[in-house]
Amino acid sequence: MRRKVTIVGSGNVGATAAHWIVDKELADVVLIDIVEGVPQGKALDLLQSGPVEGFDSHLVGTNDYSDSADSDIVVITAGLPRKPGMSRDDLLMKNYAIVKAVTEQVVRYSPRCILIVVSNPLDAMVQTAYRVSGFPKNRVIGMAGILDSARFRTFIAQELSVSVENVHAFVLGGHGDTMVPLPRYSTVAGIPITELMPPERIDALVQRTANGGAEIVGLLKTGSAYYAPSAAVTEMVEAIFKDKRKILPCAAFLEGEYGVNGLFVGVPVKLGRNGIEEVVQIKLRPEEEAALKKSAAAVEELVEIIKV
């Protein structure tokens, strides 16, 4: 049986994720949106690129959730995008209502799927999907840390003029201003970046990473990032379908790990066929632990507002 991924939201993130997924032939894709014609048109356009790119994955664009039935993975990108000057928190109540409604439909038609949430503010939205779905915690995952780490890796590679393939980095915590990049766990060919550049340069890269989304929003003026976020989603889909048990930073529901209880917070996890196979606990220094708790507290504030 062919694998099936449904992507809710056919905007730039959703449509580009569909592109990556079918190009890698990871699954057939259903693209859902409330706007009539848009998911149908984008799906048809992508489908017609198959003969050129050489993929046989099938795509369907629809406004009807029944077409998503029996999906293996459902990616939720639906929600209002950030505009210049708007924080992720400004989106909270509007996107809460959207994600709640979407999750109810997803559960109705794909009760055994794995949920990947991308909508912002990420940590609160994945908590919403978790509570509304009633799914076990391993099957509800937030995409944030992979994107934040990719940004950090990009800036490190540029700073040191090395291949991005040599650079590994971890960014923990909430997706936003309180994220926690970990320079001593960030390496170039196994060498910690703390040995390759002075502290002030590391601090500058950390700050740019924390503001990575806002920097792109400011440049685009009429939208937000979508190439890197959709690539990050695709890495998660691939790790799950191929049972790679790949260690990636994702928003996971914590029950005591890292001293956090009852919240989705970005931590390293092992991704495999069951979704989150394991939360990987790494030893943090007191200042890193304090930063992570501060990040978790910021997530908790949002969760309390929407009462999930």
Cα–Cα distance for residue pair 153/163, rounded to 1 Å = 10
CB count in 10 Å sphere of residue 99: 26
Cα–Cα distance for residue pair 129/131, rounded to 1 Å = 6
Q: Which of 19, 58, 168, 175 is catalytic?
A: 175
Q: At what angle do helices 38-47 and 12-23 cross, to 10 degrees?
A: 30
Relative to beta strand 114-117, strand 140-142 is: parallel
Angstrom distances, CA of residue 149 to CA of 20, 145, 182: 19, 6, 10
Do residues 300 and 287 lie in contact, with contact meaning Cβ atoms separated by under 8 Å?
no
Report the phi/psi class of residue 116: left, alpha or beta, with left for phi > 0 and alpha for psi in -120 to 50: beta
- Known active-site residue 175: yes
Q: Residue 119 has which token pair?
A: 């909508």
State the number of CA atoms in the 13 A half-sphere of 214 facing the CB.
Answer: 14
Cα–Cα distance for residue pair 147/267, rounded to 1 Å = 13
Helix, strand or coil, per DSSP, at residue 51: helix
Enumerate the active-site residues: 175
